[in-house]
Amino acid sequence: MKRWWIRPLVRVVAACLLPVAVPAVITAFIWALPGDPASIICPPELCGGTAELAEAWNLDQGATHFYTTWMGAAMTGDFGNSWRLQPGVPVGELLASSIPWTAALVVLAFVPLLVGAAGAAARIIPRQVDAILQAVGLTPSVVLALCAAAVVTITYGAFAFDDEAMRVKLLLGALCLGLADQALSGAVTGVRGLMEEERKQRYVQIAILRGESVLSNTLPNTLGALAGQMRARLLHLLSGAVIVEVVIRIDGLGDLLWQGTLSQDFGVVLAAAFGFALLSALLLLLQALVEVATALHVRRSPAGVVS
Amino acid sequence: MNRKLAWALATLCFAVLFVPGLFAPEHLSPPDMANAYLGFSSAPPFGADASGRPLSEYAMQGARVVALPALLAGLLVVFLGTLGGLLACTGSQRAEAAAQGFGEVVGALPRMVVVLVVALLVPKDARSLLPIALTWAVLAAPGAMDEAAAVASRLGGARFVEALRAHGFSRARIYLIHIVGMNLRPVLMRQGVETMMQVVFLEIGLSYLAVQDSQPSFTHGDSEKSWADLLYFGYQAFLDIPSSHGLFLGLALVGVVALMSVFVTQAVRAR
């Protein structure tokens, strides 16, 4: 109780560590594998002059040099050029064109989760709905995405990349992402469980007897945990976006990451992983901020109480 | 649902899914165009693909691809979850902070991104679902560790251990039987089987994406077929190709995996 700041502090440290550690681990892995990195990324029988490629990809002066150069440039927003996916094209441009799609997809998918969580917290969504949500949530994202892709193909055929078709894809993709892999059911049951547990506390019962509202009493004590749950849900959506984007063919960050992986383009993969790590770090910081604010609020003496 | 019935159904699902993998052929049968696109009744038990090869071979090979990695991933989550629960019983703040630090960093990584990076780093000739499944298990572990720690804390943590010590029980008995066996078991089993299910779905997802792009899968060799191939073949039914039996079989396998998870969760629920 006294050391309430340990948890937010660990989160802040983790948030600072994450964007630095993710590219470091990937770089370390490239050099840890047997053989020289340029040959691993593009075998000589496919790419020919490995020494030239190593120089072009900055792989010829060791892991530390590669990492520090890459991180230094990434801090200024320069992610270098694509190695193999679209050789020569700046990765920053690829990221800039793909991030808005993923952001729209994830935000659209997050809205029903937020509504579901709020509904569960306020007891608007009855418990009987849980079974239905859980049954739907057992469906893997690839299966729901397949259904969405079928709808788009049947409806739009060759015009599946028109503006209207893309809007429909986004909506259907968000629906798949929100429902599949227990995203919505997890949000509803998770928040309900947390709030119901809190409602059983003695101080809430006394607050009810005093005519105060339940939510205003329980919320400060559960806000930290709720922020944690919402952060986990957002990460879950970001993770699932890869499959949904590729199957439905939305040109988002997940699709870019997948294409980069298929073509063994470390320039793209490193930048995309860094982007995801940055986003995750931001979410961690937000959660820590909510926890600190809540802790300070809870610990503030109510007006009129003499200590 | 009755626990015994749930166990029986879970075991049945497990057997239906994974035992056929033991009998999976090394390679698919040679094409027989006379059988192309035959349905369940014409080419029992599951019909044939566009080259007339039986879909049962797809199902068996797919089972072999996922069985061992999914099982090991589930066991790893159970192990790490047990560790998380037991750490909460030691009452050590340092251990708790270390577990939280691990959970924060590992849990903050978007799983699919890490999985794709691992898939990229595994040499082409050593491609298998196992490294991906184990990575997924490590990424899923913080959730299991958190939940197990919460259960252990509700028990009383270190005070629970002290109380049982006062009754004269040995540490091994307290930790293994009273804490893990009697109290953490429902959580650990559920988390383990959910991870198994997620690994199977992950394999299907990754293989489907690769098949869709006409690329080799990250999860198995080129000579093997996964359940994603069934879905890909069956999905063409939407384009008026007579392959709906493939879609039905693929979806049925996905359904049995999900049911297995539900039945295990029912079977191990707390009394």
Measure in Å the smallest separation between the Cα of B137 and chain A Cα atoms.
Answer: 15
Q: Which residues of A touch B263 (CB under 8 A)?
A: none
The tens place of each residue's pLDDT in chain A, 307 residues long, gives: 567 888 888 889 989 988 998 899 888 888 887 777 777 777 777 776 677 778 878 888 888 999 999 999 999 989 988 888 888 899 999 999 999 999 999 999 999 999 999 999 888 999 888 889 988 888 888 889 988 988 888 888 777 778 889 999 999 999 999 998 889 999 999 999 889 988 988 989 998 898 888 888 888 888 888 998 899 899 889 888 999 999 998 999 999 999 998 888 888 999 998 988 898 899 999 999 999 998 888 887 665 554 4
pTM: 0.86
**Could you identify the residue written with the tokens 């629960």?**
B85
Residue from B59, B30, B13, B32 nearest B246 by CA: B59
Q: Does B5 touch chain A (CB under 8 A)?
A: no
- ipTM of the assembly? 0.81
What is the token pair recorded at B153?
């804390």
Helix (H) or strand (E) holding A66: helix A62-75
pLDDT per position as a tens digit, A182-220: 899 999 999 998 899 889 889 899 988 988 888 888 888
Asked if A11 lies within 8 A of B104 by C-beta distance, the reply is: yes
Q: Which residue of B has its CA nearest to A136?
A: B258
Whether the CB-CB separation of B238 and A154 falls below 8 Å is answered with yes
For testing contact with chain A, the best of B13, B112, B266 (most A CBs within 10 A): B112
Measure in Å the smallest separation between the Cα of A187 and chain B Cα atoms.
Answer: 15
What is the token pair recorded at A98?
């793909």
Please count the residues of chain A: 307
Asked if A33 lies within 8 A of B121 by C-beta distance, the reply is: yes
What is the token pair recorded at B162?
């002290």
Measure in Å the smallest separation between the Cα of A210 and chain B Cα atoms.
Answer: 29
From the first residue on, what is the mean pLDDT of each consecutive set of 10 residues in chain B (271 residues)? 89 90 89 87 87 92 94 96 88 80 82 86 83 94 89 82 86 87 89 93 91 87 89 87 91 93 86 68
Asked if A247 lies within 8 A of B212 by C-beta distance, the reply is: yes
Predicted pLDDT of residue B91: 76
Asked if A235 lies within 8 A of B205 by C-beta distance, the reply is: no
C-alpha–C-alpha distance, residues B19 and A125, integer Å: 41
Predicted pLDDT of residue A303: 59
SS3 of A81, please?
strand
Measure in Å the smallest separation between the Cα of A117 and chain B Cα atoms.
Answer: 19
Whether the CB-CB separation of B81 and B190 falls below 8 Å is answered with no
Measure in Å the smallest separation between the Cα of A304 and chain B Cα atoms.
Answer: 35
For residue A130, count other CB atoms closer than 10 A to its CB. 16
Predicted pLDDT of residue B83: 92
For residue A136, count other CB atoms closer than 10 A to its CB. 14
For testing contact with chain B, the best of A261, A264, A278 (most B CBs within 10 A): A261
C-alpha–C-alpha distance, residues B265 and A181, integer Å: 16
Q: Which residues of A touch B204 (CB under 8 A)?
A: 140, 142
CATH topology of domain B3-17+45-267: MetI-like fold (1.10.3720)
C-alpha–C-alpha distance, residues A136 and A113, integer Å: 14
Report all structural domains of chain A as residue ranges with CATH numbers, in order of start. Answer: 6-31+49-299 (1.10.3720)
C-alpha–C-alpha distance, residues A83 and A72, integer Å: 19
For residue B93, count other CB atoms closer than 10 A to its CB. 10
CA neighbours closer than 13 Å in the CB half-sphere of residue A251? 11
For testing contact with chain A, the best of B117, B219, B240 (most A CBs within 10 A): B117
Within chain A, how many helices (H) and strands (E) appear?
14, 0
Q: Find the CB nearest A243 among B117, B205, B251.
A: B205
Asked if A276 lies within 8 A of B110 by C-beta distance, the reply is: yes
Asked if B235 lies within 8 A of A17 by C-beta distance, the reply is: no
Asked if A262 lies within 8 A of B105 by C-beta distance, the reply is: no
User: A250's torsion region: left (phi>0), alpha (psi -120 to 50) or beta?
Assistant: beta
C-alpha–C-alpha distance, residues A86 and B213, integer Å: 16
Whether the CB-CB separation of A216 and B236 falls below 8 Å is answered with no
